[in-house]
Chain A
Amino acid sequence: MVAYCGAVADDLFKALADPTRRTILDELTEKSGQTLFEICSRLSMKHQLGISRQAVSQHLALLEAAGLVETRREGRYKFHELNTAPLRQIAERWLVADTSGPEKGTP
């Protein structure tokens, strides 16, 4: 279980470590459910990122491995959806809930 969580975390942090992949997540936040063509258009036209379709496809594969992007087939089309659920692992790992209540003065 611990080892499994470690592998998931590795994929997650690797996915988030790249600025282009974070930009892809930004664009999917604006609108979830995009074709590869739309993602490429947004990266080149809105962000002036001159990267090939193949490179974008590889970025998407890493995001998909981390569970941050899911693909949905609809007829002949394939859409990429955002899934932010894996980000909770980050919060759950380090951000402990504040259960201490109001601070009491040291006796």
Chain B
Amino acid sequence: MKIHLTSVFVDDQAKAERFYTEVLGFVKKHDVPVGEKDRWLTVVSPDEPDGTELLLEPAGHPAVKTFRDALVEEGIPLAQFAVDDVKAEYRRLHGLGVRFTQEPLEMGPVTTAVFDDSCGNLIQIATKPR
């Protein structure tokens, strides 16, 4: 069994597409209309075009807001992405106006930081332990 797709709920798919591609640097993999206004919208890492897809899923279900508000209030991220250098990525994203709720924090072999994806979620970036 493999994990080939996971998802985050996003407030606005068009805005999420811009943030996840233009700001974070992912590339769009699938974009298929579903229903009247929703899309099956997935992105992948440019380093792994056949790797795990991230589905940017409409946050229309009424339970989503309660769930996400509770997590965001406590600073809990909903997904984690791996980067080579958390501090460099922090500087790059911060320079682009991305809001961080946790600045880079070295904890033994791992460094992490947490930012707001502007679509309703907190995302953690982390270095892979070497």
Contact = CB atoms under 8 A, between A and B. Distances in A.
Interface of A: 31, 34-38, 41-42, 45-46, 53, 76-78
B107 A77 contact: no
Contact of B75 (A35, A45, A46): A35
B93 interface: no
A107 B112 CA distance: 68
B101 interface: yes
A107 B103 CA distance: 64
B76 interface: yes
Given A41-B112, A77-B75, A34 B102 contact: yes
B107 A45 contact: yes
Nearest to B112: A41
8 contacts: A35-B101, A35-B102, A36-B74, A37-B76, A41-B105, A42-B107, A45-B110, A78-B73
Contacts of A35: 74-76, 101-102, 114
Contact of A36 (B75, B77, B103, B108): B75
B102 A78 contact: no
Interface residues of B, number: 16
Most buried by B among A38, A42, A46, A53: A38
A45 B109 CA distance: 9
A73 B85 CA distance: 30
Nearest to B114: A37
Interface in B73-108: 73-77, 101-103, 105, 107-108
A60 to B, nearest CB: 11
B108 A78 contact: no
A34 B112 CA distance: 14
B107 to A, nearest CB: 3
B38 interface: no
Given A34-B102, A35-B101, A37-B114, A76 B108 contact: no
B8 interface: no
A37 B105 contact: no
Contact of A37 (B69, B102, B103, B107): B102
B72 A38 contact: no
